[in-house]
Amino acid sequence: MNATINIGDKLPEMIIGPFEADDLMRYAEISGDQNPLHLDEALAKTIGFSAPPVHGMKVLAAFDAMLRRWRQDYEIIGLSGKFVQPLLRGERATLSGRVLRASEKEVFLRLFAHGPSRLPAIIGEATLRPKSLDAT
């Protein structure tokens, strides 16, 4: 029997990165997001970054894996994120999450991705639904 999810429950934190130039190049090729800002160090410096920023979607998408590992008896029906502060090439991010609402039908979580900066890289949300509801 799976444990009940309660308001305030915290997900196990997950550390991702550091992402290097090869990682960003590979993500760009697979995703189709070829924005040179993520790949060109000189361009990133011109705009004021000390290194190219990691694609925000690469970081947001990592919550998918984190959530699936947390509860395999739930399916993720919503994932969203606001890109607050860029995570830069060579930096790690810590993904965390906390349950804000929980019922028998739905669980709503607040998500954070924190890099080395004071501000989070991403403030996100996820909505999960028990897989058992699909069988009814």
Under the rule (CB under 8 A), what is the footprint of other proteins?
Answer: 14, 16, 23, 26-27, 30-34, 37, 42-43, 46-47, 56-58, 60-62, 64-66, 68, 75-83, 127
- Between 1 and 135, whose beta carbon lies closer to other proteins? 135
Shortest separation between residue 37's beta carbon and other proteins, angstroms? 8
Shortest separation between residue 79's beta carbon and other proteins, angstroms? 5
Shortest separation between residue 6's beta carbon and other proteins, angstroms? 24
- Between 61 and 102, whose beta carbon lies closer to other proteins? 61
Shortest separation between residue 125's beta carbon and other proteins, angstroms? 8
Contact of 94 with 17, CB cutoff 8 Å: no
